[in-house]
Amino acid sequence: MRILIVLVPGFSHLSLGAILEPLHRLKAVKPKARLRIEVGSVTERQVPSKIGLDVTCELSFSDSLQALKGPDRAQTLFLCCGLRSPYKSQGNIQKLLRLAHRAGTEILGTGCSAWKMADAGLLQNGAGTVHWTTLPAFAERHHNISARDALFVTSNHVTSTPGEAATLDMVIAFIQRQVGDELTQQLCAHLMISFPRMGNTDQPREQTGFLRSAPPKLRQALGLMSNHLENPLLLRDITTRIGLSIRQTERLFAAHLGQSPKAYYRKLRMQHGRLLIEHTSMSILEISLATGFSNRRIFSKYYRDEFGFPPSFTRRVP
């Protein structure tokens, strides 16, 4: 099996290691598989990572394209991205993905790869995932794609993952499909992986630990708020659904979050708005409406209160 790993400037070393280590270990324990693993680039042979360390690839961009052609072409393509990629590499990424897709090559991508897959038309009416910080923006931009909060998602013969540690879970699942459970378990034992996570596992967040120990009623309330950012619920509607009075709900938020339900809800909407400003080309008016505000002026006022600067300043910051 020929496997091509293509690096995009700004890639994650953690993601790259999570791809290479299991594959090279598999190559060692199952030599009959005849794995041929090559590392290529979408730009120059030297590709800078997000932490500034360069990796010299054995294949140039033209070589990587050639590796996807002919009877000896790669059966699998791993596109290794970070959370963002430079604009100048977009054209090459699209060319690479479309060529691989036409050739029937299995495609697996990390980091912002689902954005690239979507732009290339690979996820049309399918599903994908990106890092949780950009997931709302991905959903707003791609209405015909199911944006899933997951460690990795396979759809239309392509797999996307937000990268980092989740890349390892995606690669283990890939290997399991190729060689079965027994050899995969041996591989996991060698890599000291006790329990590979399922793809549909929710992505960890800043408050994941807190939410596990939070009262069930509070978790219900927070879930309702997160799922109703564009059309915010009234506090009385939330309290009715979770079976508490308004006063009981206010005490619950004060005790565990140190703020009122109203303030917390508005903060969620502001954070959602900021992500949309940073990761989409939506107008400020469109973002105001997408976060549940009737006009731009009100949105801008609360945005400045929350972050200390107007929405227009966020859009100017790279």
pTM: 0.77
What's the length of the chain? Answer: 318
CA distance 149 to 95: 27
Average pLDDT score over residue span 141-165:
92
146 & 249 share domain: no
> Alpha carbon 204 to chain centroid distance?
11
pLDDT for position 101: 95
Q: With CA atoms as reference, report the closest residue to 81 among 106, 56, 105, 117.
A: 117
224 & 165 share domain: no
Number of Cβ atoms within 10 Å of the Cβ of 285: 13
169 & 223 share domain: no
pLDDT for position 29: 80
Residue 275 is assigned to a structural domain of this protein? yes
Q: In this predicted structure, which of 25-34, 84-93, 256-265 has the lowest mean pLDDT?
A: 25-34
61 & 180 share domain: yes
Report the mean per-residue pLDDT for the chain.
90
Alpha helices in 128-215 (DSSP H): 135-141, 165-179, 181-190, 208-213
Q: Provide the residue range defining the domain that includes 96.
A: 2-190
Residue 202 is assigned to a structural domain of this protein? no
pLDDT for position 211: 63
Number of Cβ atoms within 10 Å of the Cβ of 130: 29
46 & 132 share domain: yes
Contact predicate 217/242, CB 8 Å: yes
pLDDT for position 158: 96
Residue 203 is assigned to a structural domain of this protein? no
Given a cut of 90, is residue 274 above it in pLDDT? no
Question: pLDDT per residue over 98-116, tens digit each?
Answer: 999 999 999 999 999 999 9
Looking at the structure of the chain, the number of domains it has is 2
137 & 39 share domain: yes
Average pLDDT score over residue span 256-267:
92
Residue 201 is assigned to a structural domain of this protein? no
144 & 214 share domain: no
Taking the CA atoms of 59, 63, 68 and 74 in sequence, report the sign of the dihedral they define. Answer: negative
Domain CATH number, residue 37: 3.40.50.880
Average pLDDT score over residue span 50-77:
94
Domain CATH number, residue 266: 1.10.10.60
Residue 146 is assigned to a structural domain of this protein? yes
Average pLDDT score over residue span 25-52:
88
pLDDT for position 135: 86
Residue 197 is assigned to a structural domain of this protein? no
234 & 285 share domain: yes
Taking the CA atoms of 126, 315, 80 and 162 in sequence, report the sign of the dihedral they define. Answer: negative
213 & 183 share domain: no
